[in-house]
Amino acid sequence: MQIYLPVADLPVDIFLVLAMGLAVGFISGLFGIGGGFLMTPLLIFIGVPPGVAVASVASHIAASSCSGAISYWRRNAIDVSLALMLLAGGFLGTAVGVWLFSLLRVLNQLDLTIGLSYVVLLSIVGMLMIIESVRVIIRERQGKPVVLRRGGSHTWVHGLPMKMRFKRSKIYVSVIPIWVIGFVIGFIGAIMGIGGGFILVPMLIYFLRVPSATVIGTSMVLTLITMAAATFMHAITNHLVDAVLALILMVGGVIGAQFGTRAGQSMKGEWLRLSLGLLVLAVGLRFAFELVVQPDTLYSIRQTGGG
């Protein structure tokens, strides 16, 4: 069944978009990520203008992370003070990212920059996650006790000043790395048009040793706030949010996220990280493929102003 999108100015198959929302929602609930890095390319693929895709996906991610965040809130699996500290760095990072975004746009190199940063970032993050989780899995198979790094082991991160106690996560760390992580996520989000949850979760685990009990819930709260803000910004600056498209994506997304959240709770952490790593790497390679392999047509048309 076709439905006409009033802002994107084109008809789409409502069931196709709903199914895409469900699938990405499931993945976002499963891993506690926004899923923007999957949804935006999918929408562009079915013909939605890139600008409309990025802007509408922001509201879709806000909805699915809202539904996810409420589920985690009920389980008391959110560290509010940690989320607020990350947010402080996030706002600054977004501002710097938006500034660089307009600079690259003027230099006419935005497309290539976005493509390359997707490849580099997704491939590296995906590889790291795969290596780490495979190591853990192999160790378990060999019957060796898994080295629990929490508690005793300290890294240089723990030597930094301005320490703060986060009761819910049971960690005592400096706020400096938290602000830096928030900044990086905000910056990447503004440049690449993604929520950044898939990078935030591993960074929280590896650098701050946030326990798996609170890491996904906290990441979801951060995603919810940044994506709600991004939706609003997109709506008032470039008027590219398509509410009809957003609503279809949201309905599919929130339902998928509910099932994803449940599936995630019954999966082991390292297997979860391995599958996310494979997924992230696959998307990164897909972008690399596009950059390296000769395209069907060397020409492309882009409306000036939009997108």
Residues that bind another protein (CB under 8 A): 2-4, 6-7, 9-11, 47, 59-60, 62-71, 74, 111-112, 116, 228, 231-237, 239-244, 246-247, 250-251, 254-255, 257-258, 290-295, 297-304
Token pair belonging to 285: 């390679």
Nearest approach in angstroms of CB 95 to another protein is: 18
Closer residue to another protein (CB): 5 or 175: 5
Closer residue to another protein (CB): 6 or 269: 6
Nearest approach in angstroms of CB 5 to another protein is: 9
Closer residue to another protein (CB): 119 or 181: 119
Nearest approach in angstroms of CB 257 to another protein is: 7
The backbone torsions φ and ψ at residue 12, rounded to the nearest 5 degrees and listed phi first, read -130, 160
Nearest approach in angstroms of CB 244 to another protein is: 6
Closer residue to another protein (CB): 62 or 85: 62
Which residue in 180, 178, 182 sits closest to 190, CA to CA? Answer: 182
User: What Cα–Cα distance (Å) separates residue 205 from each residue in 8, 104, 105, 291?
Assistant: 39, 32, 34, 32
Nearest approach in angstroms of CB 99 to another protein is: 21
Distance CA 256, CA 261 (A): 9
Listing DSSP states for 208-225 in one string gives: H---HHHHHHHHHHHHHH
Beta 163-166 vs 10-13: how paired, if at all? Answer: unpaired
Closer residue to another protein (CB): 19 or 112: 112
Nearest approach in angstroms of CB 42 to another protein is: 19
Closer residue to another protein (CB): 68 or 177: 68
Place of tokens 């500034």: 99
Nearest approach in angstroms of CB 149 to another protein is: 32
Q: Own/partner pairs for 170-173, CB < 8 Å, 24+ apart?
A: 170/211, 171/208, 171/209, 171/210, 171/211, 173/208, 173/209
Closer residue to another protein (CB): 230 or 279: 230
- Helix, strand or coil, per DSSP, at residue 210: coil
CB contact at 8 A, 21 and 248: yes
CB contact at 8 A, 257 and 28: yes
Distance CA 177, CA 157 (A): 7
